Each structure stands twice: as structure tokens, then as C-alpha cells.
């Protein structure tokens, strides 16, 4: 029999592995984390997010399976009309210390034949890859060195598609739960210390997304540039970002646990290309 304790141990392994990959690839994410831990804070994750395509081999249902099998349940769904994305969020059925998991997918049929064909070709390609493997969420780019022209062409239509093309399956971001912080206990204080230390905040739609009335306020860094090996040479392009979330209680005293599509829509832009 699988006990509750064994389940959370497995989940800890999953989140640790995602965290190690994320910080190895994005050293600035570790620096952000250390800003808080060096100040004596204990950092907890509000949520961890993944991106994918809506193809039935790798869609939300496929990526969420490892979490469902470890005690997570589906909680909310979200529509992003302008970006042609769909998302769901999942929570652990009983352990409130476990982070939420947010998974989005690109609605490929809304895009050009070029995007649809590129995604199909990508997914058809690695014959050795088992999309139903438990390792899928850790597998990153399983398609080999990306082609720079293809990357640029994808980016013209969808920054999101270009990001998944280059980075594949991995944590797109971790999110500091501001509710768990003591000294930096408001989003304003968090944004202040982030900027003071030279990190760039995503200012699309304002640095703070959402209001206290909406019960969720979020901000995020712009993804740091990292060197990525394309098929011709190395290019410096945005990788992953770090997010910050502060949640508020509703009139019944219950802490809001969902997401606000209008805010998340702007947070997606944290991986948009920008000149360094
Ligand atoms: Ni997020």
C-alpha cells in the first residue's frame, strides 16, 4: 500500500529534480532565490508552471498525469483568447504545502499551417521518445538542436510556440509564495528588492498584475538571457523566469487558490524576446 508519506516523498523528488534543472539552466533564478534565503526567508512555492502543445501526445492531460498519480486533482481551467492558449491548474488533494501545478497548452489549430506542420513534425520526429514516460516533464528539448530560422518564424506568430520549440518540457517558472515570507511580506516589497538587485521585472500591464479585490497579485522577472546552441551557432535568448504571488482571503476567510486569466496573460510575456 502506498502511504501518504511515500507519496509526498515522491513529490519532493519530482519538485527537487525540476528545481535543479531550472536553476542549472537559469543561474539568475538561483540568485533571486538566494536574495530571499540570504535575508533569512524560507521560500515556498506558490506554483510551478509548464508549457506544451495541444497535441494529444503531449497535451495537458499527458503532462499532468505524473501529478495526478501522486495525489493531485484538477482545480481550475483558463482561456487565453489573444494568445490562443488553454490552461488548467492542479492542487494536491490534501497536502496544502505542496505547490499548485499550472499547465498551459498552445491551441495549434488557431495558427498558420506553418506552426501546425512544425509542431506535428517535431512530435513525429523522435521515434525513441516515449511521450507517456514519467520522465517527460524533465526531458527538456527532445528534438535536438533547434533551427534558428524556424525559431524566428515561430516567434513571429507566437512567442510561446518559439519557447516550447527551444526548451521543450521543463519547469517554465517557479513562483515564490509571498504569503510565506516574513520580511518581504508584500508584493511591493518583493518588487522593490528584485529591482534593487538589478533584475528586470515584467512591466507588461504594470509590474503588479491583479488586485487585492481579485485576491491574487502577481509579478515576475523577465526571463534571463541564456546561451542556446542552435544548428548554426550559439544565440543568447530568454530562458526561464521567476514569479512572485501574493494571495488574499475572501469574505469567508478562505485563501484564494485559483488564477486570474487576465493577469496570467501578461505573465506569459515574461519569456518574450527582448534585447539584452
Ligand atoms: Ni505562474
Instruction: List pLDDT tens digits, range 195-238.
Output: 999 999 999 999 999 999 999 999 999 999 999 999 999 999 99
Q: Inform me whether the pLDDT recorded for 40 exceeds 80.
A: yes
Ligand 1 centroid from CA 124, angstroms? 29
C-alpha cell at position 122: 517535431
**Is 276 a member of any domain?**
no
Task: Quote the distance between the C-alpha of residue 232 and its chain's center.
Answer: 28
Ligand 1 centroid from CA 1, angstroms? 34
Ligand 1 centroid from CA 48, angstroms? 7
pTM here is 0.95
Task: Write the pLDDT tens digit of every residue in 240-265.
Answer: 999 999 999 999 999 999 999 999 99
The domain tally of the chain equals: 1
Task: Quote the distance between the C-alpha of residue 118 and its chain's center.
Answer: 22
Give me the sign of the Cα torsion angle 86, 206, 247, 242.
positive
Cα(223)–Cα(233) distance, rounded to whole angstroms?
21
Q: Output the pLDDT for position 151.
A: 98
Task: Write the pLDDT tens digit of every residue in 146-169.
Answer: 999 999 999 999 999 999 999 999
Q: Output the pLDDT for position 132.
A: 84
Cα(165)–Cα(157) distance, rounded to whole angstroms?
13
Collect all residues with Cβ–Cβ distance below 8 Å to 84 and sequence separation of at least 6. Answer: 106, 107, 110, 111, 158
CA dihedral 154, 159, 160, 163 (to 10 degrees): 80
Ligand 1 centroid from CA 232, angstroms? 33
Could you tell me the end-to-end alpha-carbon distance of the chain, in angstroms, rounded to an integer? 52
**Is 244 a member of any domain?**
yes
Domain coverage including residue 220? 4-271
Q: Inform me whether the pLDDT recorded for 123 exceeds 90.
A: yes
CATH code at position 215: 3.10.180.50
Residue range 107-132: mean pLDDT, rounded: 89
Q: Give the H/E segment covering residue 157.
A: helix 148-157
72 within 8 A of 93, measured Cβ to Cβ: yes
Q: Strand 100-106 to strand 45-53: parallel, antiparallel, or no bridges (unpaired)? A: parallel
Ligand 1 centroid from CA 144, angstroms? 27
For residue 6, what pLDDT band results from cuts at 50, 70 and 90?
low
The answer for 38, left when phi > 0, alpha when psi is -120 to 50, beta otherwise, is alpha
Ligand 1 centroid from CA 233, angstroms? 31
**Is 238 a member of any domain?**
yes
Q: Inform me whether the pLDDT recorded for 44 exceeds 80.
A: yes
Amino acid at each position: 500500500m502506498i502511504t501518504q508519506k511515500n507519496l509526498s516523498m515522491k513529490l519532493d523528488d519530482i519538485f527537487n529534480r525540476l528545481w535543479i534543472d531550472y536553476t542549472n539552466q537559469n543561474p539568475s533564478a538561483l540568485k533571486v532565490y538566494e536574495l530571499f534565503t540570504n535575508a533569512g526567508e524560507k521560500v515556498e512555492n506558490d506554483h510551478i508552471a509548464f508549457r506544451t502543445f495541444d497535441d494529444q501526445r503531449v497535451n495537458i492531460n499527458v503532462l499532468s498525469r505524473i501529478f495526478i498519480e501522486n495525489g493531485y486533482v484538477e482545480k481550475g481551467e483558463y482561456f487565453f483568447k489573444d494568445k490562443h492558449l488553454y490552461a488548467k491548474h492542479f492542487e494536491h488533494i490534501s497536502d496544502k504545502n505542496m505547490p499548485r501545478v499550472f499547465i498551459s497548452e498552445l491551441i495549434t489549430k488557431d495558427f498558420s499551417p506553418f506552426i501546425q506542420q512544425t509542431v506535428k513534425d517535431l512530435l513525429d520526429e523522435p521515434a525513441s521518445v516515449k511521450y507517456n514516460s514519467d520522465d517527460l516533464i524533465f526531458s527538456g528539448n527532445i528534438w535536438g538542436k533547434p533551427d534558428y530560422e524556424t525559431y524566428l518564424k515561430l516567434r513571429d506568430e507566437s512567442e510561446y510556440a518559439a519557447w516550447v520549440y527551444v526548451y521543450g518540457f521543463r519547469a517554465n517558472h517557479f513562483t515564490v509564495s509571498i504569503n510565506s515570507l516574513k520580511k518581504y511580506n508584500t508584493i511591493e516589497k518583493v518588487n522593490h528588492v528584485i529591482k534593487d538587485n538589478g533584475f528586470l521585472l515584467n512591466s507588461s500591464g504594470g509590474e503588479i498584475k491583479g488586485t487585492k479585490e481579485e485576491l491574487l497579485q502577481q509579478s515576475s522577472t523577465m526571463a534571463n538571457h541564456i546561451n542556446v546552441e542552435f544548428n548554426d551557432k550559439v544565440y543568447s535568448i530568454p530562458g526561464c523566469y521567476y514569479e512572485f504571488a501574493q494571495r488574499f482571503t475572501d469574505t469567508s476567510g478562505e485563501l484564494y487558490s485559483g488564477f486570474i486569466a487576465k493577469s496570467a496573460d501578461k505573465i506569459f510575456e515574461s519569456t518574450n524576446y527582448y534585447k539584452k
